[in-house]
Amino acid sequence: MFGCGKVDEASYYDDLKTEEVLNELLQLSRIESFNGDEDEDEEYGEDDSLISMKMSDNSQNFSYAKGDSYQNSMPKIVSTDHVESVNRTFWTETMAILSRFRNDGDRRDLISIGVATGFAAAFGAPVGGLLYSFEEASSFFTIPLMWRTLVATAIGTFVIALYHGDLSQFSVLSLGYNAEASHELALISFAVLPFYVLIGAVGGLLGAFFNGCYIYTNKLRQKFYSRSGINKSVYRVCEVLVVSIVTSLVTFCLSVYLPQSWLCTDVNEEDAVEGVGAGFAERFNCPVGQFNEVASILLGSRDEALNDILTDPSKFEPRTLLVSGLTFLFLMVITFGIFIPSGLFMPTLLTGSSLSGWAGLMIQRYLLPSVVPAHMALVGATAMLAGVQRTTVSLCVIMMEATGQTKVLIPLIISVVVARYVGDLFNDGFYHVSRQLCVGVHAAHCISSFLTMNFSLHRSTCI
């Protein structure tokens, strides 16, 4: 593309071809030992397999005799003793350099780094993204890979900060946790400790329920598709259409047909001055000067809805949070597994924050007035994620970095540990369940698909 040039064949062949051939042979496990002495022939392999290598100052000659099963997988080596130069463009030069990464080791490392960087950029958690890759996405994690991943996550968050033009804003999603300093005493009070444990246990139960439904629906779907004479493509499209229609009907009907005295709430002066965020700006069948609570959560911006719930759940009626949380849980159950990419983090966070925000308001109203619902909403959202994914260390660090609150670490650890323990009593985590469902159906491709897509877990390849 950018012009042709001539390079010395020896350097081109030495640097690229030799390494590529050796890498291919090593991947096929046909070389047991290597001796680079000049002008010596070595025999390697098993049975009738023979690999001999001759090395000299100006050229290399490779010859091998392989079985038919490996013949097509080996690169074709052509003698280049009489070739003095090779014409290459910028494109071929770039592809030749990138071909060095065509091996399983580098591929695994790049996937691990990509997963970590995606989480770091989304939540503004460079350390949390690294820990998530270590805990869930990586089969092997070495010290060099750790610092490379940390550099990548730091660069990812720095680029987000450059986009916002502010070094304090280095995330795509904002959890908006702004609990006042006066509430710190309530956060660390031992009287609230049982409620943290209870919320963690409920999060583990709900996570196990969701994973159990996910296992059941996918096994039922696989059994249905295994029948002879069924066109998978047609039924997959029909399933997506049905789920889309059900989702639209449920969210719209709940936003319209619930009592107006319940749905509609006055817009306060601060929101009126700021213009209110997406979703809240819509009256949605409410009188002038009011906004529809249910429509704001179900039909508005997910990011802003989560931000408002975690910041101050008292903005909403308790029954609004309860209905919204149960609705999101129902939609998660019927959506995951169909033939579309579907996010896991945002629906789970919304479900957990809504239900735990409702629980916090009820506890504050009837049991312990010193309880802060915002704390309960954050702890419940984390517990719900722990119940679904069964991640522990990375989840605590991600939520702590995303909210910018270090004082919530102990409550988060308590809820995560309890949620993980309770969930493990019933089934495995979501990622392990997905891997088990993919056994025998291109498992490696399926796992790499939903890990590299970060928030879009594409399950269609496993069905």
- Paired residues of 85 in beta bridges: 8
Locate all alpha helices (DSSP H) within 62-125, ordered by sequence: 68-71, 90-98, 104-123
Q: What is the pLDDT of residue 215?
A: 92
Distance in angstroms (rounded) separating the CA atoms of residues 293 and 301: 12
Please enumerate in sequence order all residues whose Cβ is within 8 A of that of 135, keeping only pairs 6 or more positions apart, or say none: 391, 392, 393, 394
- Rg value, the chain, Cα: 28
Helix, strand and coil content of the chain, in percent to the nearest 5, comes to 65, 5, 30
Contact 414, 423 (CB under 8 A): no
Please enumerate in sequence order all residues whose Cβ is within 8 A of that of 272, keeping only pairs 6 or more positions apart, or say none: none
Positions of E strands within 230-389: 264-266, 290-292
Distance in angstroms (rounded) separating the CA atoms of residues 369 and 371: 5
Contact 239, 338 (CB under 8 A): yes
Q: Which residues of the chain have pLDDT under 70?
A: 1-88, 176-188, 228-230, 268-282, 439-463
Q: Which helix (H) or strand (E) holds 64?
A: strand 60-65
Contact 400, 408 (CB under 8 A): yes
Q: Which helix (H) or strand (E) holds 8?
A: strand 5-8
If DSSP states are collapsed to H, E and C, what string results for 224-249? HHCCCCCCHHHHHHHHHHHHHHHHHH
CA angle 130, 136, 141 (to 5 degrees): 60
pLDDT in tens, 330-349: 999 999 888 888 778 889 99
Question: What does the domain layout of the chain look like in residue ranges?
Answer: 5-101, 107-164, 186-231+300-462
Q: Are strands 290-292 and 60-65 parallel, antiparallel or unpaired?
A: unpaired
Neighbouring CB atoms inside 10 A of 195's CB total 22
Burial label for 392, CB within 10 Å (0-12, 13-18, 19+), is middle
Backbone angles phi, psi at 379, to 5 degrees: -65, -40
- Return the CATH number of the domain spanning residue range 186-231+300-462: 1.10.3080.10
How many Cα neighbours within 13 Å face the side chain of 363? 25
Q: What is the pLDDT of residue 36?
A: 45
Instruction: Tell me the pTM.
Output: 0.72
3-class secondary-structure state, position 398: helix
Contact 43, 93 (CB under 8 A): no
Q: What is the pLDDT of residue 178?
A: 55
Q: What is the pLDDT of residue 325?
A: 94
